[in-house]
């Protein structure tokens, strides 16, 4: 298997031999590098049948494979006797074509000397063709002892690869994932789960991860936030992402509905731009926005090159640009007047430019429809949020006579005050 680049692995929940092999062939057709056979759901029958099935499946696998039988306390379905798992791992290692890796939880490994002895012996019988992945999973939060845990896993001589996966609490946890990969002394899989953790999966190649997981189908993801193979390879162009790739995205709450990641990545592909665009969810509070954006801007491994900003953070972006003194900020005059911004660009020197494209996005097409200009036209704007403010003030700056209709009077009156002195009017 290739070792110089980050691999794409498709996890397959094994319930039926023929279906599992069909999925493995589909993974190969979609250009995945390897598959992970998850056998924990198939261990409720006679273990001898499961072992025989697993041996045959590994022997006939169209891609190199990882064999896993995940225990229940780490997100799997297996809660039977450890002896059954041991027989399974020993059998696949003794098969005609041993798997590329077997995956065993570190918690099980360090608490069971007999497991250590038998697994080490089984791996030795493969003459090095099968490696051990030691893994740790937390589906609830970040482990409190994360760095100590990783250190202890790396110290296990038998482990060829270590894996850590935990639920991200915010986008900032992705920066910690990048740090773990940079510091690792062994090949490492490090992933953050959930909607906040998606960057760790997409940027695994940028940060030197051993592999990332991708589902064959959206409904078959084995962990929260896992993309599909087609999304990862065709839209994000995962195999083109490297250390120099600039990271861009849309910040908002929520951002799941955004199609910007599809549009921008397609444009980057057509223009040959070394950049990737992602959804970047940030909780709605000002404190969350400030802490998250500054962390991403300050982290050279994340390498945030800019972002689109949508509700509810447009006013937050202007506030940050006005208040933060750790770098140079330039605010577009119209965005300054509007009091809301939807675009952040990071310059090569680390300075930031903040602007508002909502204005041009409203004025330009409207002027086209009205024969080239909006000056003197009476135009109604519905709402008084960030986009409505940009539309009203932008139209007034081009001479339009704007009337704002809103459920709350105070925001509408504020827009009217902010438009004082413009060629047009806002009422």
Catalytic residues: 314
User: What are the DSSP E strand ranges found in 253-317?
Assistant: 275-281, 304-309
Strand partners, 404: 381
What's the per-residue H, E or C state across 34-101?
Answer: EEEEECHHHCCCCHHHHHHHHHHHHHHCCCCEEEECCEHHHCCCECCCHHHHHHHHHHHHCCCCCCCE
What lies within 8 Å, CB to CB, of 308 at 6+ separation is 249, 250, 251, 260, 342, 343
Token representation of residue 50 = 């499961």
Give the SS3 label for residue 180.
helix
**Dist CA 235 CA 9 (whole Å):** 17
Token representation of residue 344 = 């952040």
**Dist CA 162 CA 156 (whole Å):** 9
Contact 69, 85 (CB under 8 A): yes
């Amino acid at each position: 298997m290739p070792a110089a680049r980050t691999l794409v692995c498709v996890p397959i929940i094994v319930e039926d031999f023929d279906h599992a092999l069909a999925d493995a062939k589909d993974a190969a057709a979609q250009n995945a590098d390897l598959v992970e056979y998850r056998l924990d759901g198939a261990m409720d029958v006679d273990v001898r049948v499961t072992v025989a099935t697993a041996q045959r499946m590994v022997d006939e696998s169209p891609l190199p494979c990882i064999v896993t039988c995940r225990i229940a306390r780490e997100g799997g379905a297996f809660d039977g006797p450890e002896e059954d798992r041991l027989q399974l791992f020993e059998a696949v290692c003794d098969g005609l074509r041993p798997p590329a890796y077997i995956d065993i939880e570190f918690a099980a490994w360090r608490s069971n000397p007999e497991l250590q002895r038998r697994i080490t012996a089984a791996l030795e019988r493969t003459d090095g063709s099968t490696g051990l992945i030691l893994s740790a999973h937390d589906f609830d939060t970040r482990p409190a002892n994360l760095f100590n845990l990783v250190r202890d896993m790396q110290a296990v001589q038998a482990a060829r690869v270590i894996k850590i996966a935990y639920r991200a609490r915010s986008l900032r946890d992705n920066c910690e994932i990048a740090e773990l990969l940079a510091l690792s002394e062994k090949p490492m899989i490090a992933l953050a789960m959930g909607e906040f953790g998606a960057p760790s999966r997409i940027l695994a190649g940028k940060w030197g991860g051993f592999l990332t997981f991708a589902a064959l189908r959206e409904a078959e993801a084995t962990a929260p936030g896992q993309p599909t193979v087609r999304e990862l390879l065709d839209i994000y162009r995962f195999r083109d992402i490297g250390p120099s790739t600039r990271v861009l995205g849309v910040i908002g709450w929520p951002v799941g509905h955004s199609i910007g990641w599809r549009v921008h990545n397609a444009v980057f592909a057509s223009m040959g731009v070394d950049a990737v665009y992602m959804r970047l969810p940030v909780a709605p509070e000002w404190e969350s926005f400030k802490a998250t954006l500054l962390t991403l801007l300050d982290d050279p491994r994340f390498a945030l090159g800019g972002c689109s900003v949508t509700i509810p953070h447009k006013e937050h972006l202007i506030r940050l640009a006005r208040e933060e003194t750790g770098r140079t900020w330039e605010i577009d005059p119209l965005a300054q007047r509007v009091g809301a911004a939807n675009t952040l660009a990071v310059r090569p020197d680390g300075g930031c430019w903040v602007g508002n494209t909502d204005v041009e996005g409203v004025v330009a097409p409207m002027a086209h429809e009205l024969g080239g200009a909006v000056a003197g036209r009476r135009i109604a704007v519905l709402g008084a949020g960030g986009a409505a403010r940009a539309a009203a003030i932008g139209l007034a700056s081009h001479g339009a006579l704007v009337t704002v209709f809103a459920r709350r009077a105070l925001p509408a009156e504020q827009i009217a005050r902010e438009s004082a002195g413009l060629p047009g009017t806002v009422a």
